[in-house]
Amino acid sequence: MRKRLQLISFYNLFALSLKITNIAAVKPMTIKDLASFLKVSPSTVSRALNNHPDISLEVRQRVQQLAEELQFKPNSFAANFRKKQSKLIAVVLPKIYRSFIPDVIEGITKKLSAHQFQTLVLITEDQFTSEAEAIKQCCDMRVDGILLSLSNQTKDLQHLERCKTMGIPLVLFDNTLQSDCFASVHINDQRAAGLCADLFNHKHVTRVAAVFGPEELQISQNRKVGLFATLNKDIDVATCYANDAQAAFVFADEQIRKHQTKAFFGISDEVLLGIVTAVKEHNLSKQALVVGFSDGLTMPFLHRELRYIFHDGKVVGAQAAEQILKHIESNSNLIEHIEIPVELY
């Protein structure tokens, strides 16, 4: 059975960093339901709700009174659909994690709401089949645009062809694949990892313990390539692919005990937490050089000596929203690839 996608109202986005829950959908009251109650046609109900002069005052009052009693609200999405616009942008994400993705969503919604667009967030649980289903749902809903961060199972973009066929603008962001057909917003992961390597070179370290994310992740490979391409060739490098802080801790602890390693690279806040924990357990906070990618919130406070690439989710989100608005408002087919500048803090 196909895994159900989580649909999250943009009104509840600030709860994302705390807890995500599934809420069962309740079928809303429709104009057809009101018409059935009153034994009139749906078109009569619609015109009565809009105070159309062709509908008698008595009928208008009956319709409006029942609508008020049943707390009926007209479907604005349906109305916009008849106008060939939904004022709805779908944001398709693999997962909600750390503070980065909620920051991305905040950046997106702030920019879009200023242009009277609403945001619908779909979570694919990092599954390609769910991602393909989400794209299909977005096309069926005739959303005005789609912002997509790819799942790590996604190897090509063939499932996005329907968006092109239907003329629905789509912008890739954060986790992307190279494409001449779709605009994108991302940081240059290879260059960013190269900045970390430059610091190791400058400090004349002789050995680095580098912790990457799961090996199948494109982001892991990009950052590994960037690190190795820039590191001096005489620096020994021990590598580990870790899914969480515990695995990163075990690796860093072993490197310290067996090799007296004092230079570490971490791909994310999760692995940096494991590295820093090991460093502190060995009382190396002042001597160790820990460098990596961070959202700039938790880890710099836990380890003041941390040097990190700040990955600003709000900027990524705002830039992605800016790109989709360009496509919608100018009806432009121009494909731009926006690279978010990075620096080492």
Task: Take residue 168 and report the two structure tokens written for it.
Answer: 């629905």
Query: 232 and 138, same structural domain?
Result: no
- Residue 265: domain span: 189-310
Query: 232 and 208, same structural domain?
Result: yes
Query: 208 and 176, same structural domain?
Result: no
In a domain? residue 74: no
Query: 159 and 17, same structural domain?
Result: yes
Q: For the chain, what is the domain count?
A: 3
- In this structure, how many other beta carbons lie within 10 angstroms of the beta carbon of residue 253? 17
In a domain? residue 71: no
Contact indicator for 196, 265 with CB cutoff of 8 Å: yes
**DSSP code per residue over 175-193:** S----SSSEEEEE-HHHHH
Q: Is 226 exposed, middle or buried (0-12, 13-18, 19+ CB in 10 A)?
A: buried
Contact indicator for 37, 63 with CB cutoff of 8 Å: no
Distance CA 107, CA 121 (A): 13
Q: Which residue type, as a one-letter code, is found at position 337?
A: H
pTM for this entry:
0.70
Task: Take residue 340 and report the two structure tokens written for it.
Answer: 């978010």
Sign, Cα dihedral of 211, 212, 216, 221:
negative
User: Phi-psi bin for 142: left (phi > 0), alpha (psi -120 to 50), beta?
Assistant: left
We report the CATH number of the domain holding residue 235 as 3.40.50.2300
Query: 182 and 126, same structural domain?
Result: yes
What's the pLDDT score for residue 33? 79
Write down the residue that tokens 């905040």 correspond to: 106
What's the pLDDT score for residue 329? 83
User: How do the pLDDT tens digits run along the chain, 345 residues long?
Assistant: 444 444 444 333 333 333 333 333 345 667 887 888 888 888 888 888 877 878 898 888 888 888 887 777 665 545 554 455 678 999 999 987 666 888 899 999 999 999 999 999 999 998 999 999 999 999 988 999 999 999 888 888 899 999 988 889 999 998 888 788 899 998 999 999 999 999 999 999 999 999 998 887 778 889 999 999 999 999 999 999 998 899 999 999 999 999 999 999 999 888 999 999 999 999 999 999 999 998 877 777 778 889 999 888 899 999 999 999 998 887 767 788 999 998 899
Distance CA 241, CA 153 (A): 17
